[in-house]
Structure formats: structure tokens, C-alpha cells
């Protein structure tokens, strides 16, 4: 058997389109909440593949589901259905508000489907011009042309004009601002229950309740983007359950596959029929491999043990971070839900989030940013306490560099 091609980090610059700026090391294997690079250096993983690796790395539940399905059937195309995808659809509809599911491969695709469905519902309503979409500043919904336009971060969309029109952005958590723009021509409001990329900002409950009332008043779909918050991340199966506000459409991805690419749009029998054969589709969405893994991961997470464990780990993290912050006085606020945690830098350290995550990497800790002023943690939902302790110790060494 031939040896694999030898590669180094510098080869990224040689061969890859430069839309990412990856770290200067290459992870090669993982187990639980730890990974190792080409030099066999160990890292504690507080990043979780950006809230994807819900069970950590190489968890037996996911590995077994993947390997078992890999010996049976990989792909058949959308001219046929398959057993794993039907089982997964049953799991999702039995455990959420939804009646119907559309499967795809990513969060962006799920949001694209949701926005297209909303436009179709608006068209079918017979109300002239009912195509407006209301979204929120600093939101992130994906990188397709439609979803990047709905996202409220111009830095991601400004180079790709002309953008899809009919999208309005207002301040997040500002119900009065939303009231000023939602009207009879609005077909949808899309919102994250917790803004992830925008800084780990939880929605106020009255804000989400108010959006629900406005959507009911004007016949608009309320879309919850739960790509980052879904599948146990906040301590509930989906974040809408924390608020008691039920959307018309929900998008999910990331943790759903535990590291295997999969996404889904969930909706109800009221709205699903507006999509008919040929109005939307996907080649790979709902393939047997992805569906088998997602079904196993979803079943494992959707238990009181795991979901209550997320809440316990949230408090454990907060206690450790507050103790650390009492010593270094770096963070102005520590916020979030479950194991989606954002540490907001004090004004004197503004813009230093990336430096902190770089130093953390040098100390053997993987962490994320959520804008220039927020350090973000999205670890495995089942990360052991001893790994949290070790990760915090490594973060402490990184923060010591900030103080120098």
C-alpha cells in the first residue's frame, strides 16, 4: 500500500483558495476533548469544530454508526429515499414542534431553504409584494449569496453586490425597531435565539415573544436559526424550548451530525406543502451515511443525562472562568447559554480576542472568537471536568501573555 502524500501547513498556501487562515499546525487525530497535531502535541478542544463536535472526537456512537452504514449504502440520490433518513426525520419530528423535514448538508443550505420557503409562502399568499425579510444586525446565517445577505455583517456581503433585495436589518433585542419594519409585505423574520458569530448574545425572552406576535399579526414566518444553538448546545434540545416560543421554521446543522456534514430545515404541515416536487432540492442531502450518524448522535444527546449535564458544565465553566477573571481582570462579561459561552473583553483589551486564541493555541488549547472582542467556547457537550480544568489552566497561561 502506498504511503499517503506528505503535507505540511505551508501546502495550504500552495494549493488552497485563501478564504481561510488556519492555525500554523495540522490536527491529525482526536479522542474525546483532546486532539494531537503532526508533531504529536496535545490540545484541549474548547472549540469543538465551531460547535460541531458535540460528542468530541471519534466517539464510539458516531464511529459505529458511520462504519456500520458504510458497509451497506452510501448514496442513492433524491430519486429514492432511504431507511436512515426516514428514521432521522421521525426522531426530529417526534421531539420538536415540526411535522416535516428537508435535509441538506450544512447550516447555510438549511437557511437558504428556509428563506426560499418563506418567499414561496409569501408569493402563494396573494398579498402583493409579500417578499420582505427582516433580519438583525450582526447576525450570521451562512455564506450563500442569499444567506450572507440576510446576515447582518456587511463585511461578509459587501464585495458581492448586487445582493438579493427585500432584506431589512434592525438591532438585535430591539423589539421597537422590529415593530417599525415588520408589516403586511413581510414574509419572514429570521433570528438566532443566541447570536453566535455576532458575539454570543442571548435573545431576551420578551424580544422573541414579541417577534412571534408580530409574525402572527402580519402573516409572516418566524424562522429560528438554530444551526449553532441546536441539538443540546444550550442545555435544551433546541434553544426555542428554553424560551417557550415556537417558530414556524427551524434550521439545524453543526452538532446534528457530531462532525459529519448534515443540515435540516424543520417546519409544520401548514407551510411544508408550499414546497412541491422540483421547487427545491439537493443531491447529497439526507444521504444514508449522514443520516445514520446524525440519528445516532441525536439519540445519544436527547437524554436527560446529557442535557442536564450541559447545564451542569455551563455552571462549572462559569465558576472556573470567573475565578480566572478575578485574577486577571480581562473580561467585562461572561455570557451565553449551556456550552455556548462568550467572554467579552474589557475596553482596554479591545481587539485582542484573536491574540488570546493564538496564545491559547501555543499553550495547547483550542478556542474561538466571536468578533474582535469576544473569546468563544463551544466544547463537546460531554467534555469531562478534568479537561475543563486543564483547558482553563492553559487559558490562564495565555492570559498571562496578555498582561505582559
Task: List, as residue ranges, the binding site.
Answer: 107-108, 140, 143, 225-228, 282-283
Do 241 and 193 meet the contact criterion of CB atoms below 8 Å apart?
Answer: no
Do 392 and 321 meet the contact criterion of CB atoms below 8 Å apart?
Answer: yes
CA triple 126-132-138, angle to 5 deg: 155
**Residue with cell string 449553532:** 228
**Residue 254 falls in the annotated catalytic set:** yes
Strand ranges for 318-397 from DSSP E: 331-337, 340-345, 365-366, 368-369, 374-377
What lies within 8 Å, CB to CB, of 385 at 6+ separation is 313, 316
Task: Choose among 219, 291, 342, 283: nearest CA to 62.
Answer: 291
**Other beta carbons less than 10 A from residue 7's beta carbon:** 12
Instruction: Provide the β-strand partners of residue 93.
Output: none
What lies within 8 Å, CB to CB, of 392 at 6+ separation is 320, 321, 324
**Residue 90 falls in the annotated catalytic set:** no
Cα 44 to Cα 387: distance, rounded to the nearest angstrom: 7
Cα 214 to Cα 179: distance, rounded to the nearest angstrom: 7
**DSSP classification of residue 207:** H
Task: Choose among 296, 165, 313: nearest CA to 235.
Answer: 313
Q: Are strands 132-136 and 186-191 parallel, antiparallel or unpaired?
A: parallel
Residues annotated as binding site for pyridoxal 5'-phosphate? 107-108, 140, 225-228, 283
Which grid coordinates belong to 402? Answer: 496578555
**Residue 225 falls in the annotated catalytic set:** yes
Cα 367 to Cα 50: distance, rounded to the nearest angstrom: 9
Q: Are strands 27-31 and 221-225 parallel, antiparallel or unpaired?
A: unpaired
**Size of the chain, expressed as the number of residues it contains:** 404
Sign of CA dihedral 223, 229, 231, 236: negative
From the list 248, 254, 300, 387, the catalytic residue is 254
From the list 140, 146, 260, 377, the catalytic residue is 140
Q: Are strands 221-225 and 368-369 parallel, antiparallel or unpaired?
A: unpaired
Which grid coordinates belong to 302? Answer: 436527547
Residue numbers annotated as active site:
140, 225, 254
Amino acid at each position: 500500500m502506498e504511503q499517503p502524500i506528505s503535507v505540511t501547513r505551508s501546502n495550504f498556501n500552495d494549493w488552497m483558495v485563501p478564504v481561510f487562515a488556519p492555525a500554523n499546525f495540522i490536527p491529525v487525530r482526536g479522542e474525546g476533548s483532546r486532539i494531537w497535531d503532526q508533531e504529536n502535541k496535545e490540545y484541549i478542544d474548547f472549540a469543538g469544530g465551531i460547535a460541531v463536535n458535540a460528542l468530541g472526537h471519534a466517539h464510539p456512537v458516531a464511529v459505529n454508526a458511520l462504519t456500520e452504514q458504510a458497509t451497506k449504502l452510501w448514496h442513492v440520490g433524491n430519486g429514492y429515499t432511504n431507511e436512515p433518513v426516514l428514521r432521522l426525520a421521525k426522531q426530529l419530528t417526534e421531539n420538536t414542534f415540526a411535522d416535516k423535514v428537508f435535509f441538506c448538508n450544512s447550516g447555510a443550505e438549511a437557511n437558504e431553504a428556509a428563506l426560499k420557503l418563506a418567499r414561496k409562502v409569501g408569493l402563494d399568499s396573494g398579498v402583493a409584494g409579500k417578499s420582505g425579510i427582516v433580519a438583525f444586525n450582526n447576525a450570521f446565517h451562512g455564506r450563500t449569496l442569499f444567506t450572507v445577505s440576510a446576515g447582518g455583517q456587511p463585511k461578509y456581503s459587501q464585495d458581492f453586490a448586487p445582493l438579493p433585495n427585500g432584506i431589512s436589518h434592525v438591532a438585535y433585542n430591539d423589539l421597537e425597531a422590529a415593530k417599525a419594519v415588520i408589516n403586511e409585505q413581510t414574509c419572514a423574520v429570521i433570528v438566532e435565539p443566541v447570536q453566535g458569530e455576532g458575539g454570543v448574545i442571548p435573545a431576551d425572552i420578551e424580544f422573541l415573544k414579541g417577534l412571534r406576535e408580530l409574525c402572527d399579526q402580519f402573516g409572516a414566518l418566524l424562522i429560528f436559526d438554530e444551526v449553532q444553538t441546536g441539538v443540546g448546545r444550550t442545555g435544551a434540545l433546541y434553544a426555542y424550548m428554553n424560551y417557550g416560543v415556537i417558530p414556524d421554521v427551524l434550521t439545524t446543522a453543526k452538532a446534528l451530525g457530531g462532525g459529519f456534514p448534515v443540515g435540516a430545515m424543520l417546519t409544520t404541515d401548514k407551510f411544508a406543502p408550499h414546497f412541491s416536487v422540483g421547487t427545491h432540492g439537493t443531491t447529497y442531502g439526507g444521504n444514508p451515511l449522514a443520516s445514520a450518524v446524525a440519528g445516532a448522535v441525536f439519540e445519544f444527546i436527547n437524554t436527560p443525562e446529557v442535557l442536564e449535564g450541559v447545564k451542569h458544565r455551563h455552571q462549572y465553566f462559569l465558576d472556573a472562568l470567573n475565578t480566572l477573571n478575578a485574577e486577571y481582570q480581562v473580561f467585562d462579561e461572561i455570557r451565553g447559554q449551556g456550552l455556548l459561552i462568550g467572554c467579552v473583553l474589557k475596553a482596554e483589551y479591545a481587539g485582542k480576542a484573536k491574540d488570546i486564541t493564538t496564545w491559547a493555541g501555543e499553550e495547547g488549547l483550542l478556542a474561538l472568537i466571536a468578533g474582535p472582542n469576544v473569546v468563544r467556547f463551544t466544547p463537546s457537550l460531554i467534555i469531562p471536568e478534568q479537561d475543563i480544568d486543564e483547558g482553563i489552566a492553559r487559558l490562564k497561561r495565555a492570559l498571562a501573555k496578555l498582561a505582559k
